[in-house]
A = this chain, B = another copy of it.
């Protein structure tokens, strides 16, 4: 799946230590693949929380020199990289979201999707609240703020219990950091430690470049309070089952990350192997859709014994706006981003491994390019099942009508893409690759929504 899905957001937090704000930005940089829409950091100095945000990448954010002011005397900070749908691409929706309420400064970063946000928002609106964004993060802050409680910690506890859906959140006050994960554990959130500093990040790859040791995953339903008195943990929410998002293994997570207490690379590779078992092919080479499908393709090649090759080259210099609207846009964009290596493809029977198919529009163009490069046959193998159902927990899938698999059986998809065969990994096979087949939410594939 290439360029067909907005990524998830990424969150990062550090309590205590030196260079906190800079290290949060460094961690966000490692999480950049989870969101490129906006970047922000909120920092606490014991008295205040201050925030800086901007549209665009971490690199631009850091260059802007916005951070020096808030870095001074910082004792804790939280950061966010955001992905969003077209309509919500405004700075008002960027995170961290910082407000003052009866308990003073309160900032939040959220990765996930609150399924009852609309309902809560309507209820809050009725009782007189105003909204300055479309963000569920703002709804969470309202909920905490309107909770009757003796202190902020209790208010957060109570508010979190009212939230439905998927969420990993970090809160920041002038002197305390809170971390929480929904009861199903849809999205990943891990904890690290280095000297006397505590680190939180959506994926463990953010720890590696800070030389931070991975400690554990925040557990589904776990709630943490970190302040000068130390770190306090409790099991706040309790569900009958786990529901880790399988798409993190399929596509989102960086292969070098450890999420859900497993290596993303290992699970994804197993999916490639399993795919080779389920849908063998008679081909000369296996090539990945760069870059996200490389791991699955390596697994497929290893299991099948077919040679792994690089047949498509991706240009990484593409600026977001290098667009020419007067042309056949989509095809031109795909060509700007990818080129075929003709010597690899010519006269070959090619097995193209993709991690997943959503709309299939980009894939169709790539298949045509591979044909034009002289491939004798093109076979597509998809390292996940057909995406047929909406995600309620944070993935911005197109409407079912736009999902290629909703309308077409695999053979028809193959025909539509102009390829010789197409095989999807089975749901069962995919689940097995995780080693914990019952702990994952595969609703977008199998229509079974955790409750």
A interface residues, Cβ below 8 angstroms from B: 22, 26, 29-30, 32-33, 36, 57-60, 62-63, 91, 97-102, 106, 125-132, 141-142, 145-147, 205, 208-209, 254-256, 263, 265-266, 294-295, 298, 301-302, 307-310, 313, 315-322, 324, 332, 335-336, 339-344
Q: Which of A91, A99, A310, A335 has the most chain B CB atoms inside 10 A of its CB?
A: A310
Residues from chain B with a CB closer than 8 A to the CB of A343 are 263, 265-266
**Residue on B nearest A131 in the bound complex, by CB:** B100
B-chain residues with CB within 8 Å of residue A60 when the two chains form the complex = 319
What is the CB-to-nearest-CB distance from A54 to chain B, in angstroms, rounded to a whole number? 11
Contact yes or no, B57 A317, CB < 8 A:
yes
Q: Is the CB of B336 within 8 A of A130?
A: no
With A59-B321, A294-B310 as contacts: A132 and B256 at CB distance below 8 Å: no
Contact residues in B for A332 (Cβ distance below 8 Å): 209
**Contact between B99 and A131 (Cβ–Cβ < 8 Å)?**
yes
Q: Would A313 and B128 count as touching, CB distance under 8 A?
A: no
**Residues on B with beta carbons closer than 8 Å to the beta carbon of A32:** 315, 317
Chain B residue with the shortest CB-CB distance to A56: B319
Given known contacts A22-B324, A307-B302, A324-B22, A339 and B256 CB-to-CB distance under 8 angstroms: yes
- Across the interface, A310 reaches (CB within 8 A) one of B58, B255, B341, namely B255
Q: How many copies, total?
A: 4
CB-contact partner of A100 in B62, B106, B130, B301, under 8 A: B130
A261 to B213, CA, bound (A): 51
Given contacts A128-B147, A256-B339, 19 further A-B contacts (CB under 8 A): A29-B322, A30-B315, A33-B317, A57-B319, A58-B322, A63-B319, A63-B321, A97-B132, A101-B125, A101-B129, A208-B340, A209-B335, A255-B313, A255-B341, A256-B313, A256-B341, A263-B341, A265-B344, A294-B310
Q: Which residues of B contact A63 (CB under 8 A)?
A: 319, 321-322
Could you say which residues of chain B place their CB within 8 Å of the CB of A256? 313, 339-342
Minimum distance in angstroms from A52 CB to a CB of chain B = 10
* A128–B33 CA distance with the chains assembled, in angstroms: 36
- With both beta carbons as reference points, the residue of chain B lying nearest to A36 in the complex is identified as B317
Q: Which residues of B contact A209 (CB under 8 A)?
A: 332, 335-336, 339
Report B-chain residues with C-beta under 8 Å of the C-beta of A316: 316
Contact of A342 with B263 in the complex, beta carbons under 8 Å: yes
- The distance from the CB of A391 to the nearest CB of chain B, in whole angstroms, is 25
Write out the residue numbers on chain B whose beta carbons fall within 8 Å of the beta carbon of A307.
Answer: 302
A128 to B158, CA, bound (A): 14
> How far apart are A253's CB and chain B's nearest CB, in angstroms?
12
Residues of B contacting A302 in the complex (Cβ-Cβ under 8 angstroms): 307
Q: A128-B147, A309-B298, A324-B22 are in contact. Are A208 and B339 (CB under 8 A)?
A: yes
- Chain B positions within 8 Å of A315 at CB level: 29-30, 32
Distance (Å) between the CB of A42 and the closest chain B CB?
13
- Residues on the B chain within 8 Å of A336, using CB: 26, 29-30, 209
